[in-house]
Chains A and B, each alone.
Chain A
Amino acid sequence: MKDTYKNAHTHIFTMNNAPKDFLKLYLPSALVKPVDNFTNTDLGAWIVRGIAGSDIVKAKRYATFLQIGKSKDQATVFENLMSRYPNEAFEFITLCQNLEYLGVGRSVSGFEGQIEEVIQIKRTYPNNILPFFGLDPRWKGSEDEIQKTVERYFETKIEVAGTYVYPFQGLKIYPSTGHYAFDKKLKKTFEWAAANGVPVMTHTYYMGGIYNFNKNYIVNNLNPIDPYTGKVYDKPQFINEAGSFRNKLFGLTERENCKKTCSYFLEPHSYESMLKSIKKLKICFAHFGGVPQIKEATDLNKGNKYAKPYGVLDKNWFNQIQDLMTQYPNVYTDISYSVAECLAKENNALYKTFFDEAGKSYGKQILFGTDFFMTETNSLEEEAVKGFRNYASKAKFSDGTSLWDQMARDNINSYLKSKYYP
């Protein structure tokens, strides 16, 4: 275990690791090709950023996002990330993404190809990268096969300058791509992870991120049998809302409904049966539910459009995560992405919210992370880190520990501690 500061949540995947038609998830079909082609060049991306004022924040965000995402390889993105932290040795948890099953085609690299790239980066920067293996129940035919393959990937050490190191330090799931965390095919892998102290990271930003936009697929997979209770998870229903005029105009209504329905896959409540059964499982609900949920719960912005989230419980996700952390000492959360949103004036008060949360009983279960390079859609990575670090270094607890030391070092160390990161 190293005493360095760590960033618990970063991404280094490139467009080669994402489905060929990845942009279809974000843009109307007619815009996909032009935007894709235009942002292929630095000049194109720069022009989009330049002409997109604050009114067209989305265009600006996508251009920056695409510019990094279109890097040649993951090593380039990782080097870009490291260059944002020039003055100290930092370690980064990088989350592999298995994005092969979004219903918009397969990736150029292939998932195993993505893993090979990450392993190569581990060989080059063994002291800086902490890769998390992307896990998806659709990856292999059976739960045994998934568990055994994952275990072999973790156990097979790689040679780094004459020594041998474990290539992976954790697992990453992304349920909004179309599965529940309690999926039967993941059960054995999670049991193995719990037995070996392997941490799991899951995406939990309400209505933010990547979703499955295949309605039929979602409908067919919305009510599986929960293997931990033996009962059908029957409450979720496909959400069929009329949608806004804009969405109707661009044919985005069904996509929006898919996105809303995928909230069932992500909802923290859906993890409860698994957590009850696999008590030792270390799992981090990334993003703390997302800034709109945090603000809604902490009364900073009452009445926002996310006041009543889609899901089985109809309960604020920030509160749901708080409850889970109180109940289960191995449940964690991180403040990634939110840390970039905090730079906006209207969100400045969130620093104090994080400090208050860190002072509670589950304070040691909150991790620092940024969500690079998604952060670039809001502000520069280094600005987000600087903003939080300035505040958190001065914010001290009664024992003299700073918020920064706790969240960016101590808490992440206990989250990571495992056979593969002793």
Chain B
Amino acid sequence: MDVSFFSSTIVQVALSIVISWALFALLCSMILEIGVQIKSERGRFFRNKIVEKLFDFSNQINWGLLMYNNSNIKLLTKSEKAPPTEISSKTLAEVLIDTVANVQAAKILRPSDPAETPKYTNDLLNNFEFSVTYLGQSDLIIMLRNALTKAKLKAVNNEGCNETTLYDQLVTEVTTWFDQFNERTSAWYKKLSRKRLFFIGLFVSLAVNVDSIALFKYYESNPTGRAGMINYYLKNQVQLEGLSAKYDTMKKVTIVNKAAIDSTRKDIKNLSKQIDSLKNNLDLPLGWKKPICENTKDTTKCVCKPVKTNTTTSNNEPEKKTTLCSKHEITFSCILLKILGLIISAFVASLGAPFWFDLLRKATSTAQTVIKQV
């Protein structure tokens, strides 16, 4: 028995629409990415979150700002308005420890003639311990104090406290905290990207009339269109998935330079060309040149309101009922459907290209399995 998973109309329609959505989402992700690259958005977002979260009300010090003024991070900064995109958690941890240890607000609390001899041979450790003990006990200082306590536990052996191990352990503890912070920040950034993708999606779908409902109707009634779209995807699967991974809004490292921006522009151009060619070859319902509301069904079955013609003809012919509904008639319900279709497209974009390409990968691999089993 010749059974093909792709021969089912429902599967074909679903696959075609998901491919269309994936392409649309990819285009929107690329547009977002170019904005993000031009504005050095990721680095700024991360910096703003650090500055926001590391404000220490108790000591009236913003540790985040001081960290970004530290030479280790300053040297990684391209320009004033483009903070580094990726700073490793370990670097952040080392910088924070250094900043807290050397803060003048703690040094002024030290007695001029300390009675006790320093606990460690390493000044940094002495200063750090003094700072976390005598500065105002804000959340951040308490976290650092706890990190120091844990590090001490791990650094103590039979011969006493090994300072190198203590420092390494302290860095490890704080690095773990920054790892968690990075995860949280990534989640916040994802949320922000989704919002932005939604608006970009809305803008693009309005600009070029990407109406998900119209697409659905098109694929439902057009087997050639369905087959064309699926063939296009199967032929270009590797390339498209590569682009999807490249423009994943959640990826952490972005090289921000002119070449990267040019490359994104080139990718946008290429993808637009491919979408254009698909549109022309398959006659996809995109763009505003096509009628806004096209009734694919026979107009005789139109359910529009009948309108009474205000005529009683001289020869007393019975009153005729005509309908305002024609093949290209704009009706209220059709406008509502159009708006809904555009909003669905915007929502589709907000989920991001990787989501749709993952879905397609799963669907096609399931299809292969089904075919093999049969």
The answer to whether B65 touches A109, judged by C-beta atoms less than 8 angstroms apart, is yes
**Closest chain B residue to A75 by CB distance?**
B69
Per the bound structure, the CA–CA distance linking A92 and B69 in Å amounts to 21
Determine chain A's interface SS by DSSP, over half rule. Answer: helix
A109-B62, A115-B104, A115-B105 known; 13 new pairs, CB 8 Å cut-off, are: A41-B81, A73-B68, A100-B60, A108-B55, A108-B62, A108-B65, A109-B61, A110-B55, A112-B61, A112-B105, A120-B69, A152-B109, A155-B112
Q: What is the interface of chain A, defined by CB distance below 8 A to chain B?
A: 16, 41-42, 71-73, 75-76, 100, 108-113, 115-117, 119-120, 149, 152-153, 155-156, 158, 167
Per the bound structure, the CA–CA distance linking A388 and B290 in Å amounts to 70
Per the bound structure, the CA–CA distance linking A100 and B57 in Å amounts to 12
**Closest chain A residue to B103 by CB distance?**
A116
Q: What is the interface of chain B, defined by CB distance below 8 A to chain A?
A: 51, 55-57, 59-62, 65-66, 68-69, 80-81, 103-105, 107-110, 112
Per the bound structure, the CA–CA distance linking A155 and B110 in Å amounts to 11
Per the bound structure, the CA–CA distance linking A158 and B55 in Å amounts to 24
The 20 listed contacts between A and B (C-beta, < 8 Å) are A16-B65, A71-B80, A73-B69, A100-B60, A108-B51, A109-B62, A110-B55, A110-B62, A111-B60, A112-B105, A113-B61, A115-B105, A116-B66, A116-B103, A116-B104, A117-B65, A119-B104, A149-B108, A152-B109, A156-B110
The answer to whether A153 touches B66, judged by C-beta atoms less than 8 angstroms apart, is no
The answer to whether B80 touches A113, judged by C-beta atoms less than 8 angstroms apart, is no
Per the bound structure, the CA–CA distance linking A30 and B60 in Å amounts to 30
With contacts A72-B80, A73-B69 taken as known, whether A113 is within 8 angstroms of B62 at the C-beta atoms is yes
Per the bound structure, the CA–CA distance linking A42 and B57 in Å amounts to 31
Total contacts A-B at CB 8 Å: 63
Per the bound structure, the CA–CA distance linking A119 and B112 in Å amounts to 19
Per the bound structure, the CA–CA distance linking A280 and B112 in Å amounts to 27
Per the bound structure, the CA–CA distance linking A156 and B104 in Å amounts to 8
Q: Shortest distance in angstroms between B249's beta carbon and chain A's nearest beta carbon? A: 22
Neighbouring A residues of B110 by C-beta, 8 Å: 156
Q: Shortest distance in angstroms between B283's beta carbon and chain A's nearest beta carbon? A: 43
Interface centre among A73, A100, A158 (most CB of B within 10 A): A73
Q: Shortest distance in angstroms between B141's beta carbon and chain A's nearest beta carbon? A: 13
Neighbouring B residues of A41 by C-beta, 8 Å: 81
The answer to whether A158 touches B104, judged by C-beta atoms less than 8 angstroms apart, is yes
The answer to whether B104 touches A117, judged by C-beta atoms less than 8 angstroms apart, is no
Per the bound structure, the CA–CA distance linking A73 and B71 in Å amounts to 13
The answer to whether A156 touches B80, judged by C-beta atoms less than 8 angstroms apart, is no
The answer to whether B66 touches A113, judged by C-beta atoms less than 8 angstroms apart, is yes
Per the bound structure, the CA–CA distance linking A42 and B39 in Å amounts to 12
Neighbouring A residues of B81 by C-beta, 8 Å: 41-42, 72
Neighbouring B residues of A73 by C-beta, 8 Å: 65, 68-69
Per the bound structure, the CA–CA distance linking A167 and B104 in Å amounts to 10
The answer to whether A153 touches B108, judged by C-beta atoms less than 8 angstroms apart, is yes
Neighbouring B residues of A149 by C-beta, 8 Å: 108
Per the bound structure, the CA–CA distance linking A115 and B66 in Å amounts to 11
Interchain residue pairs A-B with the least CB separation, the first 8 = A110-B60, A152-B108, A113-B61, A112-B60, A72-B80, A113-B62, A112-B61, A156-B108
The answer to whether B69 touches A117, judged by C-beta atoms less than 8 angstroms apart, is yes
With contacts A117-B66, A117-B69 taken as known, whether A153 is within 8 angstroms of B104 at the C-beta atoms is yes
Neighbouring A residues of B61 by C-beta, 8 Å: 109-110, 112-113, 116
